[in-house]
Each structure stands twice: as structure tokens, then as C-alpha cells.
Amino acid sequence: MNDDAWKETLTPEQYAVLRQCGTEPPFENAYWNHHEDGTYRCVACDATLFSSETKFDSGTGWPSFSDVSTSEAIDLIEDRSHGMSRTEVRCRKCGGHLGHLFNDGPTLTGKRFCINSAALNFAKKSV
């Protein structure tokens, strides 16, 4: 989609995060303290990204995951903006900015995918 189509499809907050690499405020977003079983999907293209089984409380105020649903779901890009060296996480299907990956996670993977809620939709697990 071109930029105008993204602006029509996404809310202003979603557009700022997904298309302009923005970051939503910590502790003031939909999924940082969300505990239902299910799947987190890209809000822009509905690609499956993360499972609630890998979600953990990192204390940062953003949803954090120890792993992705499948490595084919994301692209990892070196990000040297804001005077830092970190790894940007993008949705492989639509190219939307999701958040960042840090190697300081408390789980066995040692990874912390710090993801913006504005980039996600949640699909509750069927019983």
C-alpha cells in the first residue's frame, strides 16, 4: 500500500508506530498487562506474530515476548537511531515497525521482543 492508503487504514497511533517507527507510551497501552490465551497478530496485515505462551512481564510497560510464532513472521534490522545500537523488529508481510529485540530476556531464549500494542491485534484462543 502507498502512504495515503496506510493513513486511511490505520489509526493515527497505529500509523505513527507501524509506518513512522514510533513508540507508544509505556504502561498506557492495550497489551502490556494482558493475560488471555491466544495469538498476537499484526494490526496492519493480520500476520501471526506472537503467542501468549511466550509473553512475559518485563516490567517495561510494553508487551514482551521470548520468541516469535515463526521466524518467517518478522525481519530483524540493525537500528542505530537515538544514539543506541539495537535490533528493530518488523512484520515481514507488510513491513510495519513492531518494536525492538533485546538480548536481556529472563527466559531460556534470552530474548525480549519489546513490541508496541498499537502494532498488534489479539485473537483469543478458542476453547
114 an active-site residue? yes
Find the helix or strand (DSSP H, E) in which 77 lies: strand 74-79
φ, ψ of residue 24 in degrees (nearest 5): -80, 160
Catalytic residue among 21, 42, 91, 114: 114
CA dist list (Å): 36 to 3, 33, 49, 58 = 33, 10, 16, 17
Cell 496506510 appears where?
A: 6
- Residues noted as catalytic: 114
